[in-house]
Structure 1
């Protein structure tokens, strides 16, 4: 008799990766799998601490077995330095994961039979799967278009679009299209060129190149997207299998992978008091940072719009960790309930609320999918990595949002913010397109939908 299916799920150690992969872990449990979820020690502690603050949190953590492995960084090091984190985890996580697999037969839940690894882990996770004789699946938690650029690295080098050594754009103002129907991308905004000013760009690029070779050998390459969102990309790159959009937060009472908990649920009561389609929701994910001037312009722009707004302001969103609001801002917005500022929100519930009219977003893929799933138009304000390509989808392909455009000094001004919000509020055609995307997204994950069928196909293959 074949052993009961036991999946080891391993995310890249960042918020936007842990959330969709933990949702995928829950979906596997729903289909009869035992699941072990291997976070970095740093992120494991944050997820467990966040869940433990919930009523019944300890019991909720039992549904998916959460384990910790070292990422190689010291406790006080900056884990926003993604280049260093990526290089170190290869050395430190691989042996612990291999040990975990080999010893799993002696633990509750039985031996691990398959691995679902974040594509961004590169070669080491899939190499471990092959050495231990278990099936391997790579999951890409962002858009298929960005994954397609990785799979096309060799062609981009041959066409003299990027440098063979570090992947840097050879034409800073150039654009590329991998096929005539795919979105046009700025060559300077290829994901590996937009991760900050850290050293080690060449090492990171070589890591990505090696990862392409490794992933070509795995059983499946899943993607947190859906056919209707990226038809041209899936047609051009049939190896990429869409299984999304993953729910990323709709499972109430289940561990969902947030680091910035506790969520401020008081904002839901505040939303209840607002008129339908009146609220500007503002959230920039877990990485975006502003300087003092841009932070203040955003605050004043929201106030100038005259619309009620819910703004998520992380403790570290301003460089230097000081929230230097404009004079009197908090007093003015609290008077009469004009606005609400929270440290973290239950975003999926917020975006699903009928009072929310538009979403000022950094265009992270989880946020993009959550906005799309709820039919909410965007003010698209990308920060780094894949977010620039996501902005192209939002504004140029799906036409469900407007760009936030900086002035000559590189600042997105309060007047521009207020004006764009007003444009979004007044654009009935954009609202209709957003509602259309919502219907397609929901249809894809229902029984009989393309993503639902793809997920079932992959599950059956892992059970075989």
Structure 2
């Protein structure tokens, strides 16, 4: 591969304003930049990345007319407006860019930012979709129209624990959007139809982890699929967090015993009510294990931060528990004192945990998290499913993972996955090879014929 070919290619990465999507897109940009490509990050003004953290990238802001993401608002309406507001801006900006130099352009866009594909078609350049979810999520998502037609969605209580035909090992309760209304479900399916003819798909995953799902998807899409994860281990880039990370927790972890701490973080969007907060608090306290608990400001409905914690809780856990607003998660998971990760099972968190060999407690909230939880607990067997937010169940699950023999076996499997993930990134490994193939694909397919 000659440097001259790469130097005449510009990659336009179109990022979405969600933390779980922005982080891997910036990681992907860092990896492709290390291969010699010029990288332009096209992003909304909402939740825009900090250019000073990524001095090697060009940044192209789009004015989206949003000031915040309301987690309780209609998601599909938000995404539709986001795409409508950004489409013409991107087309005008890229038209100017094409006129100013003779470089080849390839657009790589987040699947939520589907307007970029229409722009690519209009400008006669290739588009590649980047998916930041698990590959195992997609067969379940693609099955939703049929399941809805069969009146299996929304899922009835009597069906929750039954296996879904043709989607083993998923139960009906593991389906994405299993508890949403029929109207919302229809809107989600409509959104999915916007992406029609990309030239390829990039997936943040590993072949050994999701081989069956990737094979099924290859048969479904009939276009190249490049599994090049885990991006969090491949990329050399600074923090991509929208929230300020509290690094004091690292010195606190330094004082804890090896593999004794349960780290609790439920992602950037999940919310809970006062009752769930209280049960979580007393479950952590009663487990008698040290814990690091991330409680985002506003993550409890109607709160500024931790004012809804139950009376006496902070006094009870003094010296044994630490509550903070946001943590440097990669550093935390890499710390020798962390013995388990209680997670919402977002895909970035899942990959970060697998990369460090940290077993998980799985408590999903929405979307692909249900699928990820099922694979973590049932297929890969590196996580324990937390069935409900009741303090005694929480105590039992934490102790099963951190104290009992079951936890030791789970940890051994997690360490085995960690080693496989590491190997996949080495020369000759599947992700290493897939990245090389992606680079060649971009160079050979930059402009439509």
- Smaller-chain TM-score range? 0.7 to 0.9
1:89 equivalent among 82, 88, 99:
82
Counterpart position of 2:313:
329
Within the alignment, does 1:319 sit opposite 2:297 as a pair?
no
2:13 equivalent among 9, 18, 28:
9
Within the alignment, does 1:257 sit opposite 2:240 as a pair?
yes
Displacement of 1:435 after TM fit? 0.7
- Structure 1 contact 373–441 (Cα < 8 Å) conserved: yes
Counterpart position of 1:461:
441
2:432 equivalent among 444, 447, 452:
452
* Cα separation, 1, equivalents of 2:191 and 2:246: 38
Within the alignment, does 1:298 sit opposite 2:280 as a pair?
yes
Alpha-carbon distance change, 373 to 77 in structure 1, aligned in 2, over 3 angstroms = closer
* Cα separation, 1, equivalents of 2:333 and 2:264: 10
* Cα separation, 1, equivalents of 2:298 and 2:19: 14
* Cα separation, 2, equivalents of 1:113 and 1:167: 44
> How does the TM-score come out when normalised to structure 1?
0.85
Within the alignment, does 1:36 sit opposite 2:40 as a pair?
yes
The more displaced of 95-104 and 63-72 is 63-72
Counterpart position of 1:163:
149
* Cα separation, 2, equivalents of 1:188 and 1:306: 31
Q: 1:215-246 CA distances to partner (integer Å, 9 max, x unpaired)?
A: xx222111111111112112222254311111
* Cα separation, 2, equivalents of 1:367 and 1:198: 29
2:344 equivalent among 354, 362, 383:
362
* Cα separation, 2, equivalents of 1:99 and 1:88: 18
* Cα separation, 1, equivalents of 2:234 and 2:215: 29
1:18 equivalent among 9, 18, 22:
22
For this pair of structures, how many residues does the alignment match? Answer: 426
What is the DSSP-based 3-state SS (H/G/I as helix, E as strand, rest coil) of the residue aligned with 1:91? helix
What is the DSSP-based 3-state SS (H/G/I as helix, E as strand, rest coil) of the residue aligned with 1:175? coil
* Cα separation, 1, equivalents of 2:327 and 2:235: 13
Q: 1:255-306 CA distances to partner (integer Å, 9 max, x unpaired)?
A: 443111x211111111111111111100000011110011011111111111
Displacement of 1:106 after TM fit? 6.3
Displacement of 1:77 after TM fit? 6.3
What is the DSSP-based 3-state SS (H/G/I as helix, E as strand, rest coil) of the residue aligned with 2:136? helix
* Cα separation, 1, equivalents of 2:64 and 2:13: 16
- Structure 1 contact 23–248 (Cα < 8 Å) conserved: no
* Cα separation, 2, equivalents of 1:309 and 1:18: 28
* Cα separation, 1, equivalents of 2:111 and 2:97: 23
What is the DSSP-based 3-state SS (H/G/I as helix, E as strand, rest coil) of the residue aligned with 2:207? coil
* Cα separation, 2, equivalents of 1:76 and 1:360: 27
Alpha-carbon distance change, 177 to 369 in structure 1, aligned in 2, over 3 angstroms = farther
What is the DSSP-based 3-state SS (H/G/I as helix, E as strand, rest coil) of the residue aligned with 2:376? helix
What is the DSSP-based 3-state SS (H/G/I as helix, E as strand, rest coil) of the residue aligned with 1:222? strand
Counterpart position of 2:447:
none
Counterpart position of 1:146:
137
* Cα separation, 1, equivalents of 2:20 and 2:357: 21
Counterpart position of 2:126:
135
Alpha-carbon distance change, 42 to 76 in structure 1, aligned in 2, over 3 angstroms = closer
Within the alignment, does 1:437 sit opposite 2:417 as a pair?
yes
Counterpart position of 1:65:
58
* Cα separation, 1, equivalents of 2:257 and 2:227: 36
* Cα separation, 1, equivalents of 2:312 and 2:353: 31
2:164 equivalent among 157, 176, 191:
176
* Cα separation, 2, equivalents of 1:198 and 1:257: 35
* Cα separation, 1, equivalents of 2:252 and 2:235: 20
Q: Which runs of 5+ in 2 are unaligned?
A: 445-449
Within the alignment, does 1:202 sit opposite 2:206 as a pair?
no
* Cα separation, 2, equivalents of 1:377 and 1:132: 46
* Cα separation, 2, equivalents of 1:114 and 1:294: 46
Within the alignment, does 1:384 sit opposite 2:366 as a pair?
yes
- Structure 2 contact 155–178 (Cα < 8 Å) conserved: no
What is the DSSP-based 3-state SS (H/G/I as helix, E as strand, rest coil) of the residue aligned with 1:191? coil
Counterpart position of 1:54:
none
What is the DSSP-based 3-state SS (H/G/I as helix, E as strand, rest coil) of the residue aligned with 1:235? helix
* Cα separation, 1, equivalents of 2:156 and 2:366: 19
* Cα separation, 2, equivalents of 1:299 and 1:198: 34
Displacement of 1:143 after TM fit? 0.7
Alpha-carbon distance change, 6 to 117 in structure 1, aligned in 2, over 3 angstroms = same
Displacement of 1:447 after TM fit? 2.0
Alpha-carbon distance change, 112 to 42 in structure 1, aligned in 2, over 3 angstroms = farther
* Cα separation, 2, equivalents of 1:340 and 1:378: 19
